[in-house]
Amino acid sequence: MASFDDIVLSPDPRLKQRCAEIGEITPEIRALAERMLDDMYLASGCGLAAPQVGELVRLVVIDCDYAGTDDRNPYVLVNPRIIAADGAERDFTEGCLSFPGISVTVTRPSHVIVEAEDLEGDTLRYEASDNLMAVCLQHEIDHLDGKTMVDYLGPIGRARALAECRKAIEEGAVPGEVGTGE
């Protein structure tokens, strides 16, 4: 059974590390993907990257249809890479399961194309524009490169967001709880 204890919280140093490519899709990788989906759904999240559960490999799970409903449409992305990130820059309010109790405004390209393998080893291409999927793909792939949503903020905004997150965790915030923004 998944628990919030699986989710790595800021300021854990694993969130700042670049993750290794997955060479072979083993039963352990499949089990990790299943555990990540369980954790993401438990926290009513829409995405989760392997370092957020303490595993430093390039694996992401996403389900932008779920958002706390019973409608599930999960994607498992092995070794995802951004092929293009363009379009108008847009401000998005983002939360993160590793930063409970806060949300921040991040400026990102509105259009993204991502290539990844699925659990069968087939290469797939995902394209998203001006929607939650475009944001989620970029946010989760950032995690694989050791970058988090607070890294997009200036020094003062980042310090404020990290202090707010620390306080929220001390007060009992759990993954899936987001704040009102910066």
Residues recognised as catalytic: 140
Q: How far is CA 82 from the centre of its chain?
A: 14
Q: What is the four-CA torsion angle of 97, 99, 100, 104, rounded to 10 degrees? A: -100
Please tell me the distance from the alpha carbon of residue 136 to that of residue 158, in angstroms, as a whole number: 20
| Torsion sign across C-alpha atoms 14, 15, 20, 23 | positive
Q: Which residues of 19-28 are buried (b: 16+ CB within 10 A; e: fewer)?
A: beebeebeee
Strand partners, 106: 92
3-state SS of the chain: helix, strand, coil percent to 5?
35, 25, 40
24: which 2 tokens?
């072979």
Residue 127: strand pairing partners = 113
Q: Which amino acid belongs to residue 2?
A: A
